[in-house]
Homo-oligomer: A and B are copies of this chain.
Amino acid sequence: MSSRWVEQPEHVVDAPGALPAGFRASGVACGLKASGGPDMGLIVSDAPETVSAARFTRSGVLAAPVLLCQERCRLDALRAVVANSGNANAATGRRGIDDAARMQGAAAMAVGVAPEQVAVASTGVIGVPLPPDPVTKGILAARAALATDGDEAFGEAIRTTDLFAKRVAVDVRLPSGKVRLTAQAKGAGMISPAFATMLCFVQTDAGLAPETADLLLGVCVRRSFDRISVDGQLSTNDTAILMASGAGAVQIAPESEDELRFGEALDFALRHLALEMVRDGEGSRRRGRVMVHGGDDATVVRVARAVANSPLVKAALHGGDPNWGRIAQAVGAAVPDAAPLALDVWIEDVQVCSSGAAVPYDVPALAQAVARDEVEYTIGLPGEGAEAEVFFSDLSHEYVTINADYTT
């Protein structure tokens, strides 16, 4: 583990090796990426009773595959995922929907399940029609490459500007026995704390009721991909899908100790992957965590997001600049007309602002704190009982370089 902010539970142990029982996956190159790198991935569950759950971006400009999944998939009974990188199939209109439907149909035929049991996901450039030939060829090649240890290849095939692959493969010791949990994700830019620009696919051989899968995925997404910011930009394509084959020995009963323990493992996996996205934030060198406590749920979340999204706070984090005035500024912008505000601010353990006013602090201690790879900001608002955290990357020269010439 690379972050002090995500602790691996004791009953969750690394399991290098194969996918959970019932699953095969693959990733191949089909020509969607100009680089010639892997760009088409396939995951399939061979268990007919596979249970699933899904979450999507709330953008008003939804990519075609997201619209297709929402309108034409049995999201509680998915058997397969087909995902491409190199093209987001977003802002592509009626043709985009048709292209996504063709991709779904081809994958369904290739793996032998009903089309409505195949989820489609895309990531890459927005506003360019998806070329059909590479997609069809890619799906055929991906079918031929399906393997029980294909999760690594699948993870490669969904990368775009990601500098490194993001995967989890663990065994989870539950009271009723051991289950395996694997997940593959992508995400580096266009990451907003209102559900990040990312794809994440999770597999387990545990048996789960559809309601349980949906509940657990919803809770864990809210604590992970919904709480990170690289650049505060909500995407058109965000998709998270959990599939439970039930092909292992353990059936997880609702409201059981098994469910609790499995939920902890899923929470760990998704938070780990979310933190990995922040670590891989385009051009990122440092990470921050902002914790806000106060009396009102909506306000603490809004303030945490405003601080995490602030380019001034991010640039200060990048430069190791202990300029906490930027934090006060971002908080103030998030709570208009609330002045005078009894605001407390700590950077790591050093309090810099008390009840809205600067306090004398240990300058060398603060300088040392902000020079670390991970910097923690704590903000106190009036009242108590509500708390929110958001993880964020810094703003660097490399972010500008990456994003000034993305399509050219």
Contact = CB atoms under 8 A, between A and B. Distances in A.
Interface of A: 58-62, 66-67, 88, 90-96, 125-129, 189-190, 192, 194, 231-236, 310-312, 315-316, 318-326, 328-341, 343, 352-358, 395-397, 399-408
A93 B355 contact: yes
A316 to B, nearest CB: 7
A63 to B, nearest CB: 9
Contact of A61 (B94, B315, B356, B399): B356
Contacts of A358: 91-93, 127-129
A59 B334 CA distance: 8
B340 A67 contact: yes
Given A329-B61, A340-B67, A358-B93, A233 B190 contact: no
Given A60-B335, A404-B319, A93 B357 contact: yes
Contacts of A62: 332, 339-340
A264 to B, nearest CB: 30
A403 B311 contact: yes
A356 B64 CA distance: 11
Nearest to A234: B333
17 contacts: A59-B339, A61-B329, A67-B340, A90-B328, A91-B356, A126-B328, A194-B333, A231-B311, A234-B333, A236-B328, A315-B400, A316-B403, A323-B406, A323-B407, A397-B400, A397-B401, A399-B400
